[in-house]
Amino acid sequence: MLAWTIYISFLGAAALVFLPRENARLIRWVSLVIALAGLLCGVAAICQYQTNGSSGVVEILNIPWIKDLGISFYLAADGISLTLVLLTGIAAVCGVLFSWNIEHRVKEFFAFYFALIGGVYGVFLSFDLFLLFVFYEIAIVPKYFLIAIWGSKRREYGAMKLAIYSFVGSAMVLIGIIAAYIVSGSSSFNLLELASYPFSETFQAWAFPLVFIGFAILAGLWPFHTWAPMGHSAAPTAASMLLAGVVMKLGAYGALRVAMTLFPLGLERWHNEIALLAVIGIVYGATVALIQRDFKFVIGYSSVSHMGFVLLGLMTLTQIGLSGAVLQMFSHGIIAGLLFGVVGRMVYERAHTRDLDELQPMNLSKALPFAAVTFVIASAASMGLPGFSGFVAELQVLIGAWQTFPGLTIIAAAGIVIGAAFMLRALIKAFFAENEPGKTQPAGGLHFEAISIPERVGAVVLLTTTVAIGLWPKLLLDLINPALNSPLMQPLWKGAAL
């Protein structure tokens, strides 16, 4: 069933090419069906996984591909993979809904969109490292075109910067994977086989940072984060939602699944240094977001800050910290997608500006009440208030971090306070500020196009998801924690059993 998430996405992208260009309505509905089909396959697979009482890695498909090199089309999944497959499915559906009114080259837009989605599904389900790398590269190419063709301000620069950073990181990952393959003397790129090989401490000391940073570049690790705010701000709404919501998770997932799993001794050697970078990213991202005027840049830098919690959780070497990191991947994916949906589609496409100083006199709470209410709730979720998914995730990360490096934990907690400040500033300026002298609205107030039904549905789905996980985190923790207790993942943490 899970393999069909990949098949449906790529076949759907190909099928869209043959639809009549002038029938945008048909293209939109077919795109929604493709996204829903992928989501339903993921949900069905999760239900089957839990019904069968599975906890570790479950093989989906294993077909020899390049036999001479030991490369296979090997798909498998555990609770961590399934959590991110679910995130991808939800983000894919909501991205289509928020792109419902796109008019420019609709067919090509959704074809690239589903090629990207297919690559993302492939990364989360690949347990052959070469296959994982192939899907990782497949996901990079559509990102470039989505931003360069359908983006907004400085889209060519944003797309090129994202592509360069991504390919540099990919080169680092490929070197590390090939080195592990050669040093192990293995006849296979099978992750499970390579993870069982006792690489020397000397080898792991340089291979781990090479592969980890290669992946973490895409996760927004400071100081390799600068592509993220520009890429987010230049991308069209659906691409921003996927970029922050899902694509950044490819980097974090790769760092966990490949670098940390293959090189646990390297992880122990470097975890303090990487944790320091993660905490700097938390505080730096929040502080820079606090002084931004561009609404999308605020959300872009907030993503850098929130992804810092993911990377911090990974470095705690505790079960609760790792669990929080994976949950934060899901939580941030949902919340960031919602924030970019509101800012990019509901606000920018109507007000035609993202400058907070220009939005301030518009008092959008009256002109766009649904957008205002949605952003209020999304801001509360982003600030990590109780009742939302971010609260549980960040709490777990901080508990795990306190057990490993309490000093850094205090600094990371300060980042949460700064995060609340920049969200409140953006919220007040964009939606609830009073008119300044000399800046008046037209008689009768501003009038914008009403929020469409697809946009409302997409927002409600994302809001419901973050609240549901905030109130019942067990829904995902029952997937994540058994995976962390599996033989593959146990070497990554020390004690702190949940």
Distances (CA, A) of 99 to 25, 232, 238, 369: 12, 16, 6, 20
For residue range 54-94, list pLDDT tens digits in order. Answer: 677 888 888 888 888 888 888 998 989 999 999 999 999 99
How many CA atoms, within 13 angstroms, populate the side-chain half-sphere of residue 491?
Answer: 18
Q: How far apart are CA 441 and CA 431, in angstroms?
A: 14
Strand runs labelled E in 13-94: 58-66, 71-77
For residue range 417-464, list pLDDT tens digits in order. Answer: 998 888 888 888 888 776 554 554 543 445 677 778 888 999 999 999
Average pLDDT for the chain: 85
| Inside any domain, residue 24 | yes
| Inside any domain, residue 459 | yes
- The three-class DSSP label of residue 225 is coil
pLDDT of 436 reads: 55
| Inside any domain, residue 441 | no
The domain in which residue 383 lies consists of 3-435+449-492
| Inside any domain, residue 347 | yes
| Inside any domain, residue 212 | yes
For residue range 451-493, list pLDDT tens digits in order. Answer: 788 889 999 999 999 999 999 999 999 899 888 888 888 777 7
pLDDT band at 6 (very low <50, low <70, confident <90, very high): very high
- Total structural domains within the chain: 1
| Inside any domain, residue 117 | yes
Tokens of 343: 């800012």
- CA end-to-end span of the chain: 31
pTM of the model: 0.90
